A and B are shown apart, each in its own frame.
Chain A
Amino acid sequence: MKGSLGSLRKLGVYLYVLPAALIMLVMLGYPIIYNFVISFFNWTLRDPEITFHGFTNYIRVLTDHRFPMIVTNTVVWTVLGVVLQMVIGIALALFVDSMRRGKKYMRTIALLPWLIPGVVTALMWRFMFQADVGIINSVLMSIGVTDRNILFLADPNISMFSVIFVNLWRATPFWFLMITAALQSKPIDQIEAATLDGARYPTILRHVLLPYLSPVIATTGVLTTIWTLNYFDLIWVMTRGGPLDSTSTLPVYTFRLAFEFNDFGRSAALAVVSLILVSIMCIPYIIKIFSNLKERGAL
């Protein structure tokens, strides 16, 4: 009797987790499996007949003449974007940390770009980047940097750098805030000891500050890499992936495959490819975080 009551109580514990687990199962677990299934079918809106297709979608996606460009775009967008965010964000945080006044002001103002929705950010910059009426071209011309309108978003050679710049505007403050938060509890004793020993700032930076910051840098690096790689809104509203696919990254092209070309099968296959890519990049790190937590008994 007591035993069955005890096991009943144990079952009761699962009731706490059940609602959340159900929602995630239906809206995340089920679609990810269904997406996998769809990727093996010839599934377009044009053709009402849905037939099993084997790996055809994968082959077609991977041998698509656009695919090398999409991959290159994704790598440039992600790697260049994250590296620049990181370098500027860390440098800025270190400098602001050495300021006597204005620290709080910088923290306050850095919050803004991160809060503004990507769609609105894209709208603001798309307007400022306009070739004919955009303020950026008229400023550049008036100070003599250029003598004709630069096609920031319409020139396929420039467009990628324009969207990366805008993403920098949006995401660098995140790096700045994360590093600034970590610097609040920097090892002051060590820094003072090093200073007394006659160490200069570059030495302190290399041997004290950067090693101290490296866990935060790693965490922020993984987070911003996932976010940037999967980021869709900014590019979509600024260029729709154009001109001539010059700003089409994996998420943008996956979306276009589904809802512009109406090819669900290929879109699903490309989504699986993205999932595999992201997983390879991030899962080792996530497992490391997890085992750290387990060791510390946080679970």
Chain B
Amino acid sequence: MKKKSAAHRLATLFIVAAATLLILFPLYWMLSTSLKPEAEIFQLPPTLLPETFVLENYEFAWTQAQIPIYFLNSVTYVLGTLVVVLICGSLAAYGMSRFKFRGKPAFLLILLLTQVMPMTTLIVPLFVSFGNFGLLNNRIALIAVYSAIQLPLAIWLLLAYFNSVPKEIDEAARIDGCTGLQVLLRIILPLAKPGLMAVGLSISIWVWQELMLAMTFTTTDAMRPLMAGISASIGRAGVRWGQMNAVGMISIVPIIIAYIFLQRNLVAGLTGGAVKE
């Protein structure tokens, strides 16, 4: 490599600084605002650091604004969808990875086609059907919709991971008397753990941020997840920005934790699906 010119170094410095500022400032500003009292938020010019640190916005969010309920609902939806998609997705991917059957290419093509389906095609028919069957504000119904949306990509990704496990290993296990399910549970799943992790993370992040379906199928505070809760309260007149920013901060805590501890898996989950083919 040739020695980089001074101009290049200056450009490097500029780009790194600009990217940092552009990406981190909005997040910093949310944090900073959430720690200011209401009067200081409206002060002009704005204060970069809170002059008076207060926790009242968090207190309010946590004790009055139903945030703990929303938070718990979001966690439930994430866990429920994870369980359903990982179990059903692994079974399907295993079946397709290890056995030949009629209609397999067609099934794979249909899975791919579902990816272009706008979610707006689901809201009206499911709202009507859920209404008829008393399934609005029902946790299982929402988890089932989420699972259906996440399954196609999960199956495609898991299939790639399962295919990378050599078939000789499970043939050996078969000879030792393992059934198909045992092969999946004892051999393939442990070997495909990074894949399960990546798929699981991308499912979790998707469910956590989902808004349109959550808004449509949950209407009561008891069932609403965080994002639908935020969207509902930001639409009301006289938004309390301190509290809203505090709620925003609370809602990204799990994501920041995942960002800090699971970064490698996150990148795999994010780019894996697209790069794989």
User: A residues touching B (Cβ–Cβ < 8 Å)?
Assistant: 10, 12-17, 19-21, 23-24, 26-28, 30-32, 34-35, 37-38, 92, 95-96, 98-102, 105-121, 123-128, 130, 133, 135, 138, 142, 169, 173-174, 177-178, 181-182, 216, 219-220, 223, 226, 229-230, 232-233, 236-237, 240, 250-251, 254-255, 258-259, 264, 267-268, 270-272, 274-275, 278-279, 282-283, 286-287, 289-290, 292-294, 298-299
How many residues of chain B have a CB within 8 Å of chain A? Answer: 94
Q: How far is the CB of B270 from chain A (nearest CB, A)?
A: 7
- Taking the closest CB of chain B, its distance from the CB of A280, in whole angstroms, is 10
Give residues of chain B (32-61) contacting chain A, Cβ–Cβ below 8 Å: 33, 41-42, 44-46
Chain A CB within 8 A of B275 CB: yes
Complex CA distance for A232 and B227, rounded to whole angstroms: 13
- CB-CB under 8 A for A111 and B259, given A123-B248, A271-B118, A275-B118: yes
- B131 smallest CB distance to A (angstroms): 11
| Docked-complex contact A35 and B96, CB < 8 angstroms | no
| Max count, chain B CB within 10 A of own CB: residue among A24, A37, A294 | A24
When the two chains form their complex, are residues B230 and A21 in contact, meaning their CB atoms are under 8 A apart? no
Q: How many A-B residue pairs have CB under 8 A?
A: 282
Beyond the given pairs A111-B266, A120-B248, A120-B252, 9 more chain A to chain B contacts, judged by CB atoms under 8 angstroms and listed by A's residue number, are A17-B92, A37-B125, A100-B1, A133-B42, A169-B26, A251-B118, A255-B212, A270-B120, A274-B120
A109 and B248 contact, Cβ closer than 8 Å, known pairs A10-B101, A28-B149, A124-B29: no
- Write the chain B residue with the least CB distance to A234: B211
* Complex contacts, A10 vs chain B, CB 8 Å: 101
Interface contact A127-B96, CB-CB below 8 Å? no
A interface footprint on B117-139 (CB within 8 Å = 1, 0 otherwise): 11111111111110000000000
Give Cα distance in the complex from A69 to B206, angstroms: 30
B46 to A32, Cβ gap below 8 A? no
- Complex CA distance for A134 and B46, rounded to whole angstroms: 8
What are 20 of the A-B contact pairs (CB < 8 Å)?
A20-B91, A23-B148, A27-B122, A28-B122, A95-B11, A105-B16, A113-B23, A120-B230, A123-B248, A124-B29, A124-B30, A169-B26, A232-B212, A250-B120, A258-B127, A264-B128, A267-B123, A268-B124, A271-B123, A278-B116
